[in-house]
Amino acid sequence: MLTIGQLASYAGVTIRAVRHYHHIGLLPEPERDASGYRTYDAAAVVRLIRIRTLADAGVPLARVRELLDADPETFADATAHIDQQLRAQIRALQEHRRRIALLGSGDSLALPKDVVDYLDRLRATGASEAVIEPERDAWILMAARWPEAIPALMAEKTAQLANPRVVQLYRLIGRIAEDWQEEELLRETADLMSELLEEAAAGGELDRQDEQMPDAAFIRLMDSFADAAHPAVARLRELIAERGWTGWTRIEKRLP
């Protein structure tokens, strides 16, 4: 007769596993002998080995009891069904691996491909990561709120990168990220922003903001996100306000 330690050793499992199998009813728990110990026979070793083998094969413990006591036909049907479930799990894991591989970098996390492509183009202009990271996070919010608007917005943003002054604006913002208390740099940036906004207004781009971003509460959220992203934002907002503009995420010409 065997102790619980010997039983576990012979079956290739831990004592903790044996006790767990007792607890869930897979392995009958023997009565204590006169000395107060539980002892096991060879049949317990065989059953425990069968339990371990099924568990190692991926059979859920909830179904192990069914297979232990099944006739050959029932056993074959049950294992075929379990095999189908395991194949489905494998396909799901392969899909997870595919998605992980597509991420490639932090840009791809929670962002549609259109935005990732735009950020890559922005990076290619020489924009610093100090500029790209907050913009990326802002687009995560935008893409979650208005996914249907993203393709058009990204087409517009990508087209803007063909304008050397837009590229220059991003470079100025990159410099501000390094030295945000340089007032002359902030004013130069605000001047350029104002010029670009005048062009956007003349081209009708600002008129489309209500259609693209109709949620005023979300616009306030985006503005607060920008304010928290860098201390220079508050000063830039003051400077563009001096030049006749209100807002940040949604910008309008201030009425005289």
Q: What is the rounded CA–CA span in Å between residue 131 and residue 124?
A: 13
Q: What is the rounded CA–CA span in Å between residue 42 and residue 2?
A: 8
pLDDT of residue 211: 82
The phi, psi pair for 2, rounded to 5°, reads: -115, 150
Q: What is the rounded CA–CA span in Å between residue 89 and residue 124?
A: 40
Rama region for 244: left / alpha / beta (φ>0; ψ in -120 to 50; rest) = left
> Which architecture does CATH list for 4-102?
Orthogonal Bundle (1.10)
| Mean model confidence pLDDT for the chain | 90
Give the pLDDT band of residue 102 (cuts 50, 70, 90). low
**Of 135, 117, 128, 138, nearest in space to 171 by CA:** 128
Strand partners for 2: 40
Domains of the chain by residue range: 4-102, 106-253
Rg of the Cα atoms in the chain: 33
Residue 33 clears pLDDT 70, i.e. is over it: yes
Burial class (CB in 10 A: 0-12, 13-18, 19+), 205: middle
pTM score, two decimals? 0.61
Residues 46-70 pLDDT 10s:
999 999 999 988 888 888 988 888 8
Residues 128-169 pLDDT 10s:
999 999 999 999 999 999 999 999 999 999 999 999 999 999
pLDDT of residue 78: 84
pLDDT of residue 256: 63
The phi, psi pair for 185, rounded to 5°, reads: -65, -40
pLDDT of residue 59: 87
pLDDT of residue 254: 82
Instruction: Give the tokens for residue 68.
Output: 């232990």
Residues 237-254 pLDDT 10s:
999 999 999 999 999 988
pLDDT of residue 183: 95
Residue 189's CB is within 10 A of a number of other CB atoms, namely: 23
Residue 27's CB is within 10 A of a number of other CB atoms, namely: 22
Q: What is the rounded CA–CA span in Å between residue 34 and residue 181?
A: 85
Q: Which of 173-182, 209-218, 229-238 has the lowest mean pLDDT?
A: 209-218
pLDDT of residue 103: 61
Residue 204 clears pLDDT 80, i.e. is over it: yes
